[in-house]
């Protein structure tokens, strides 16, 4: 037998000599009632508010202790148990409401600070142009920058795409902007600076197309003439869509008739009913199980060049895409924004692809300055941006696209040698970690969906900023007039200039990060305003109802002349208008001087008479 274990029968190791393990000391739990008693005795709960809070917590944890807690407080503060019970019940309700507000506040994501100047976002000359224009118009520059992104993406189309270090799939520069603001927020003043040059480009393109069709009609061979007419019709170069009303199907045909890899821009000065076409035709409403054809096409265009077909039984109604792009800008009043954007959930992925920005004045006390000549932004777009982007032509390269065909577009990438790729990875990783922590807390799901699009969106920003940087200092002299239109042509190879110096540098990407932070900040600003909008509308509605009541009382008093107050109240009260409401309204009108009240001599009654209208 092994000697490792002691023998219980051995005298040297008797049971009596073996140590008995000590019993752990029990921890005395102090009940909530004991804590309240101690606090009342020691002076820790001398104030009623403190004692009521402690009592409410005790009752919430131990409901059976309610009678004893009530008795303790009643005896200590010398008040009735009924009053104590009433106060504790109120305290409990406040505590429940406090939990609800705490839960609501915890639902919000952390605020994004984006206090950048325009010089930190855009290259020097362009920043000066926008700053000069916005200062003259007395508007904030953020709307102008976002509209510029959308206009540039539609002018370049998919002749320029980008790829991220994480994927080799071409990313379209397509951008969708919702320019939000109340009436007279200068939304149209800002957007017109961009749309006027776009209208000029569209008009010139249509004139050139008509001239080409006229030449095609001169062809003698009918088959050749028909083929040429189809070629011209299917390769339209006008970018701006100026339709006031359209169906989703017609929009698909319009896009498919643009040139391969061409751009298409939808703009509406009043975009509140933009999704109306999804409520009829083949579309669905926003509250249906999925997006309609309009949003589905826009979401596909946001992800990459449009491909595939729109198939119908009638072959004349079929359409096929050839890498075209679509961009969108809408001016929308705040009350209609929730009908277009889902800030609560974004289950369709539509909101996360939109850029929302608040249009606002710089200083409401300063009126816009009058300018002579063309606005600097319109001049920049007409003389520099449009000529440069139209000079980017499809050109076959020695690279092969993911489809296996030779790449005939400019593909922008981050310059790995400048550190742009590493910065991209670090920023996307930071965003991913932020999303992960926010999801664990259950914060705004729609905003988190917006953050998840950062890897794609920031590449769009970086690529568009790269185009602006490429334009800096380029010579774009005036050429001969075409149809009385002032034309300009860059004196350089636009395709080569975009690919020069290793594409997108670290400096440009840092600008893109700041632009991304501004986009997040504007999302939160607009989302918060949309949450409070229904309450403000209800408040205004209530004000309107009260004004209507006051007007009715004054009109009736005009007809009655001088009348006994009691009789007047009996005449005007109804099922929808209670006597207390009438009394309160009369008191206010008397205090403001709209109604004169006089006592009847020798009688305990008063008479009322009309004095002046509400606005006088």
- Name the CA radius of gyration of the chain, rounded: 36
> How many residues does the structure list for the chain?
616
**Which tokens hold the place of 284?**
């669905």
So what's the pLDDT on residue 536? 62
So what's the pLDDT on residue 302? 94
Which residues have CB under 8 Å from 229's CB, separation 6+?
Answer: 213, 216, 217
Backbone angles phi, psi at 596, to 5 degrees: -105, 130
CA dihedral (418, 419, 425, 430) in degrees, to 10, reads -120
Q: Are 550 and 593 in contact (CB under 8 A)?
A: no
Which residues have CB under 8 Å from 616's CB, separation 6+?
Answer: none
Beta bridge partners of 414: 504
Model confidence pLDDT, tens digit, residues 537-582: 666 677 777 888 888 888 888 888 888 888 888 888 887 778 888 8
| Angle at which helices 454-471 and 141-156 cross, to 10° | 90
Nearest-5° Cα angle at 168, 167 to 171:
85
Cα–Cα distance, 19 to 352 (Å, whole number) = 70
> DSSP per residue over 555-575, as a string?
HHHHHH-SEEHHHHHHHH--S
H runs (alpha helix) in 43-175: 48-61, 66-77, 81-107, 124-137, 141-156
- Which residue shows structure tokens 């940087």? 469
So what's the pLDDT on residue 101? 56
So what's the pLDDT on residue 377? 95
So what's the pLDDT on residue 570? 85
Of 516 and 487, more confident: 516
Residue 389's CB is within 10 A of a number of other CB atoms, namely 25
Q: Which of 11-20, 360-369, 501-510 has the highest mean pLDDT?
A: 501-510
Cα–Cα distance, 256 to 228 (Å, whole number) = 17
Where does the pLDDT of residue 373 fall: very low under 50, low under 70, confident under 90, or very high at 90 and above?
A: confident
Q: Which of 150-154, 532-536, 589-593 has the highest mean pLDDT?
A: 150-154
Cα–Cα distance, 169 to 281 (Å, whole number) = 33
Of 103 and 157, more confident: 157
**Which tokens hold the place of 448?**
């988190």
pLDDT at 354 over 90: yes
Q: Are strands 410-412 and 160-162 parallel, antiparallel or unpaired?
A: parallel
Q: What is the mean pLDDT of the chain?
A: 83
Cα–Cα distance, 253 to 232 (Å, whole number) = 15
Model confidence pLDDT, tens digit, residues 99-138: 555 555 566 778 888 899 999 999 999 999 999 999 988 8
> DSSP per residue over 502-554, as a string?
GSB-HHHHHHHHHHHHHHHHHHHHHHHHHHHHHHHHHHHHHHHHHHHHHHHHH
pLDDT at 326 over 80: yes
Model confidence pLDDT, tens digit, residues 449-492: 999 999 999 999 999 999 999 999 888 888 888 888 888 888 88
* Overall average pLDDT of the 170-190 stretch: 89
**Which tokens hold the place of 33?**
């009632």
So what's the pLDDT on residue 119? 95
Task: Please report which helix (H) or strand (E) contains residue 356, including its range.
Answer: strand 354-358
pTM across the whole model: 0.76
Q: Tell me the helix, strand and coil percentages in the chain, rounded to 5.
A: 55, 10, 35
Cα–Cα distance, 16 to 537 (Å, whole number) = 86
């Amino acid at each position: 037998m092994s000697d490792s274990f002691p023998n219980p029968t051995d005298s040297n190791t008797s049971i009596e000599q073996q140590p008995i393990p000590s019993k752990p000391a029990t921890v005395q739990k102090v009940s909530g009632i004991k804590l309240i008693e101690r606090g009342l005795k020691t002076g820790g709960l001398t104030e009623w508010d403190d004692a009521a809070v402690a009592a409410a917590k005790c009752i919430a944890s131990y409901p059976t202790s309610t009678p004893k807690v009530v008795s303790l407080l009643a005896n200590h503060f010398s008040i009735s148990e009924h009053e104590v019970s009433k106060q504790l019940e109120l305290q409990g309700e406040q505590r429940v409401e406090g939990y609800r507000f705490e839960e609501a506040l915890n639902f919000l994501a952390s605020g994004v600070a984006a206090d950048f100047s325009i010089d930190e976002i855009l290259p020097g000359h362009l920043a000066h142009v926008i700053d000069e224009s916005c200062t003259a118009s007395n508007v904030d520059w953020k709307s102008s920058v976002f509209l510029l992104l959308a206009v540039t993406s539609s002018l370049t189309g998919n002749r320029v795409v980008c790829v991220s270090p994480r994927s080799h799939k071409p990313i379209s520069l397509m951008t969708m902007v919702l320019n939000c603001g109340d009436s007279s927020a200068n939304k149209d003043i800002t957007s017109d600076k961009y749309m006027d040059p776009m209208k000029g480009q569209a008009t010139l393109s249509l004139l050139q197309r008509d001239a080409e069709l006229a030449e095609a009609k001169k062809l003698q061979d009918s088959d050749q003439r028909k083929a040429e007419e189809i070629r011209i019709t299917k390769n339209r170069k006008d970018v701006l869509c100026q339709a006031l009303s359209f169906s989703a199907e017609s929009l698909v045909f319009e896009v498919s008739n643009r040139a391969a890899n061409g751009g298409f821009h939808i703009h509406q000065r009043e975009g509140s009913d933009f999704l109306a076409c999804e409520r009829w035709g083949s579309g669905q409403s926003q509250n249906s199980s999925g997006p309609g054809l309009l949003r589905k096409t826009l979401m596909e265009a946001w992800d990459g060049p449009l491909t595939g077909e729109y198939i119908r039984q009638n072959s004349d109604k079929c359409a096929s895409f050839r890498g075209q792009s679509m961009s969108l800008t809408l001016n929308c009043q705040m009350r209609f924004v929730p009908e277009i954007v889902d800030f609560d959930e974004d289950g369709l992925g539509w909101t996360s692809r939109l850029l929302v920005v608040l249009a606002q004045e710089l200083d409401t006390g300063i009126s816009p300055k009058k300018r002579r000549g063309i606005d600097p932004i319109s001049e920049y777009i007409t003389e520099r941006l449009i000529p440069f982007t139209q000079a980017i032509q499809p050109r076959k390269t020695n690279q092969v696209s993911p489809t296996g065909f030779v790449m005939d577009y400019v593909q922008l990438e981050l310059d790995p040698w400048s550190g742009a790729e590493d910065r991209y990875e670090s920023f996307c990783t930071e965003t991913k970690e932020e999303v992960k922590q926010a999801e664990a807390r259950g914060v705004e799901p729609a905003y988190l969906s917006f953050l998840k699009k950062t890897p794609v969106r920031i590449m769009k920003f970086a690529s568009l900023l790269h185009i602006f940087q490429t334009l800096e200092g380029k010579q774009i002299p005036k050429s001969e007039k075409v149809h009385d239109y002032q034309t300009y042509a860059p004196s350089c190879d636009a395709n080569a200039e975009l690919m020069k110096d290793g594409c997108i540098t670290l400096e440009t990407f840092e600008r893109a990060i700041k632009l991304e932070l501004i986009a997040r900040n504007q999302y939160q600003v607009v989302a918060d305003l949309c949450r409070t909008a229904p309450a403000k509308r209800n408040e205004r509605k209530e004000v309107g109802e009260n004004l209507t009541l006051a007007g009715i009382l004054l009109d009736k008093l005009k007809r009655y002349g001088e009348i006994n107050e009691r009789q007047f109240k009996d005449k005007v009260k109804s099922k929808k208008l209670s006597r207390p409401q009438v009394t309160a309204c009369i008191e206010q009108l008397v205090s403001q001087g709209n109604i004169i009240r006089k006592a009847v001599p020798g009688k305990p009654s008063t008479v009322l008479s009309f004095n002046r209208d509400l606005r006088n």
